[in-house]
Amino acid sequence: MFLWEQPGWPRFRWQASRLLEPLAMVRFKQGRLLGGMARLGANLSLDAQIEALTATAVKSAEIEGEVLDPSRVRSSVAYRLGLAPAATSVDRQTDDFVAMTLDATDNFRAPLTARRLFGWQAALFPSGFSGPNRVKTGAWRDDLDGPMQVVSGQAGHRRVHFQPPPAQRLEAEIRQFLDWFGRTDEPEGLLRAGLAHLWFVTIHPFEDGNGRVARAVTDLALAQSEGSGQRFYSLSSQIRQERQDYYEMLEQTQKGGLDVTDWLLWFLGCFSRAIEAAEVAGAPLTQKADVWRRYAREPVTERQMNVLNQLMAETGREVTAKRWAALGQCSVPTAQRDINDLLARGILRRNPGGSKNTSYEISAL
């Protein structure tokens, strides 16, 4: 018996006592991340958003075996955020996928409707094909070729992991889901996001693209919970990293009863690890913001600023005059004058040693 066949479906239950501590911990981490991002300033904050949204699009596609070029995705994200001109090298599939990803976060106040879901799913298949196979878009699946099944293995040795509700039930199932999703006041925001993900992939309303649309629905629920369209972490990246565990937990839950506590615990854990990964990835940006805040009143040239920013983006931040010249596209004597100026004002410090290979570091790091 699958989850949707259980008496009482879809009245999910969970054990609040088991969720209270992990929920409080992940909310603390989430607040710490958002607080740290607020200190970055507008430009660095946008950099962090671009990286998180790029990772979300790339990894969400990757979970389903689709490969998107990260550089093209980044260009499309920057363009749609108004930070760069349209890139001629971005293909329609990439741009449409990015548009779906951004719609889920930027337009978090807009209601989730069947029409919006149709648009998201159609954006995944702009040609109407997935590889050599034609995909029905802009409509629910019809099961004309037999019941929808999630399977693995070769022909003759296939294993059925899950079978969703039959097509004739989809209108009623989706209506019930959308009515519930439209009430954003309960349950708690992160639990609501976890339930929305589980509920949508269990209905499995499309012929193809259900996983990617489910992750967009989850991102929308998270944006509603945070009351912000800004996104500094990528849950899809973490799910991609834990893909095997994700599929196993999903299958276990979809073959179980309506008590979905274990699923919610896994979801909170995955979300927590996504936040931790974002903190690690954002550390260089936070350090950069702290450095420029410390030296806010120090006049620096554009070249000095560019080289210092490049150094702060690296793990090995020592620099010689010769390397400064390469990074700043100037002569070595000019590089040495830049360095001496910053040394005199305490922005750089000289490392122990001497000779032509004398190296320097940013004092505040």
Query: What 8-state DSSP symbol labels residue 151?
Result: E
Domain CATH code at residue 315? 1.10.10.10
φ, ψ (nearest 5 deg) of residue 165: -60, 150
Give the separation between CA 287 and CA 162, rounded to whole angstroms.
47
Buried b vs exposed e over 329-360: b needs ≥16 C-beta within 10 Å? ebeeeebbebbeebeeeebbeeeeeeeeeeeb
- Is 210 a domain residue? yes
167 shares its domain with 217 = yes
22 shares its domain with 51 = yes
332 shares its domain with 245 = no
From residue 6, alpha-carbon distances to 3, 10, 202, 310 in Å are: 6, 8, 12, 57
277 shares its domain with 304 = no
* Domain coverage including residue 342: 297-362
Q: Which two tokens stand for residue 358?
A: 């004398």
46 shares its domain with 114 = yes
From residue 150, alpha-carbon distances to 102, 110, 139, 174, 255 in Å are: 28, 31, 19, 19, 13
Q: How many domains does the chain have?
A: 2
- Is 130 a domain residue? yes
- Is 292 a domain residue? no
Query: What 8-state DSSP symbol labels residue 132?
Result: T
270 shares its domain with 346 = no
Asked which of 257, 287, 317 is the last residue of a domain, the reply is: 287
| Per-residue pLDDT at 353 | 72
219 shares its domain with 357 = no
236 in helix, strand or coil? helix
Q: Is the distance from CB of 213 to CB of 120 less than 8 angstroms?
A: yes
Asked which of 225, 252, 287 is the last residue of a domain, the reply is: 287
Asked which of 287, 318, 348 is the last residue of a domain, the reply is: 287
- Is 44 a domain residue? yes
- Is 213 a domain residue? yes
Q: Is the distance from CB of 261 to CB of 267 less than 8 angstroms?
A: no
| Per-residue pLDDT at 356 | 65
- Is 311 a domain residue? yes
Domain CATH code at residue 58? 1.10.3290.10
227 in helix, strand or coil? coil
Give the separation between CA 279 and CA 43, rounded to whole angstroms.
18
- Is 71 a domain residue? yes
- Residue 48: HSE in the Cβ half-sphere, 13 Å Cα cutoff: 30
H helices within the chain, ranges in order? 16-38, 42-63, 70-80, 92-106, 114-124, 170-181, 189-203, 210-226, 235-241, 243-254, 261-294, 302-312, 321-328, 332-344
* CA 19 to centroid of chain Cα atoms: 24
| Per-residue pLDDT at 109 | 95
37 shares its domain with 118 = yes
Which pTM does this prediction carry?
Answer: 0.81
| Per-residue pLDDT at 217 | 97
Note down pLDDT in tens along the chain; length 365 residues.
899 999 999 999 999 999 999 999 999 999 888 887 776 665 667 778 888 889 899 999 898 888 888 988 888 888 888 777 766 666 788 889 889 999 999 999 999 999 999 999 999 998 888 878 889 998 999 998 889 888 887 777 788 899 999 999 999 999 999 999 999 888 999 999 999 999 999 999 999 999 999 999 999 999 999 998 888 899 999 999 999 999 999 999 999 999 999 999 999 999 999 999 988 887 777 777 677 777 777 888 889 988 888 888 776 678 899 999 999 999 999 999 999 999 998 889 998 876 667 899 888 77
258 shares its domain with 322 = no
153 shares its domain with 172 = yes
219 shares its domain with 266 = yes
Give the separation between CA 120 and CA 212, rounded to whole angstroms.
9
202 shares its domain with 307 = no
- Is 307 a domain residue? yes
| Per-residue pLDDT at 2 | 96
